[in-house]
Amino acid sequence: MSFTIPTDNKALVGAAVAALLVGVFKITFTSLSFFSMIFDLYILPPVNFKKYGAKNGNWAVITGASDGIGKEYALQLAKKGLNIVLVSRTLSKLELLATDIETKYKVSTKIVAFDASTDAPENYESIAKAINGLPVTVLINNVGQSHSIPVSFLETPDKEMHDIITLNNTVTLKVTKVVTPIILETLEKDKKLRGLILSMGSFSGIFPSPLLATYSGSKFFLQGWSAALAGELKPKRIDVELMLSYLVTSAMSKVRRTSLLIPNPKQFVASALRNVGRRVGAQEKYATCTPYFSHAVFHWAIENTVGLSSKVVNSINLNMHTSIRTRALRKAKRIAAAEAEKAAGKQA
């Protein structure tokens, strides 16, 4: 006796099998992604910077080097044995940092002071002059700017909008265009070396951030540019990497206290240099790394649940930045009132 499955039932069985296979694939892929992140974070040893010329007379160029994350990149790369070209706006801070680096780590330094927000041709000429003839192997693109407080796009001052795009995008591209040929010259002379171009990204560049629209867009641009550049330069032995961070205590973030999700610059940079070339939390992105452990888990969890570009994440960001803006405006109002009261007292 034979049994025939009705046509409608066959379709249902086929759909069920297809759904099961998709589910198995999703679970397998997600599990592999998670264990890959854990492997990167806790099992693999730190990256050896000798492949980038450390302790062999080579140089690293660092923009935004006088404070915060940029300063830490300078200190920690010097500790690894790279000579340092410090690029930032404030000459006095650069001079103090250069002295500190040379005293502590017995490496050489050079200083290039300019105001990056002007995007003047002489800025890039000064960098080209400083590195001419140097065996440069590493470039750290750290210069950047965000909004003073969260603000709607239509209310964003034109100067603030212009400065953000100039610092985060234009200056980064032009500095990279000046320094990369020097890195290629260095690699041509020593076939065993690799070059490294590392740029600072942001979580605002992987999920849209309402009330930080211009900043968020500038970081999305860096994400696409950096990945494309990585494809171009990989055959030439230059590793290009975008380092993603959530909040880090700094003048730009205006966050002073560390927490599980908020490291200080020293902690963040140590994780970044440890994990160069690894995706860690950025499992779905090429030439991108979310190096700090709690940021990595946060990034991975959002990507594998509601999705980085989902309406849920967009709404959460909007509510968070609305709250931050409200508190910032209240604080500014209190400060203005106190100053007005003080001025009135002096007049009396």
Which sequence positions are flagged as catalytic? Answer: 215
In terms of phi and psi (left: phi > 0; alpha: psi -120 to 50; beta: otherwise), the region of 157 is: beta
Query: In degrees, to the nearest 5, what angle opens at C-alpha 61 toward C-alphas 101 and 75?
Result: 25
Q: Which residues pair with 63 in a beta bridge?
A: 87
The residues, any chain, with a CB within 8 Å of residue 268's CB and separated by 6 or more, are 69, 72, 245, 248, 291, 292
State the alpha helices, DSSP H only, in 248-310: 265-274, 293-303
Type of residue found at 137: T
Q: In the sheet where 195-200 sits, what is the strand order?
A: 109-113, 83-88, 59-63, 136-141, 195-200, 238-243, 288-289
Contact 243, 205 (CB under 8 A): no
Contact 172, 222 (CB under 8 A): yes
Contact 61, 127 (CB under 8 A): yes
| Number of Cβ within a 10 Å radius of residue 168 | 27
- Cα 97 to its chain centre, rounded Å, is 22
Is 202 annotated to bind a ligand? Reply is: yes
Q: Do the strands 83-88 and 195-200 form a parallel or antiparallel pair, or are they unpaired?
A: unpaired
What is the three-class DSSP state of 125? Answer: helix
Known binding residues for substrate are 202
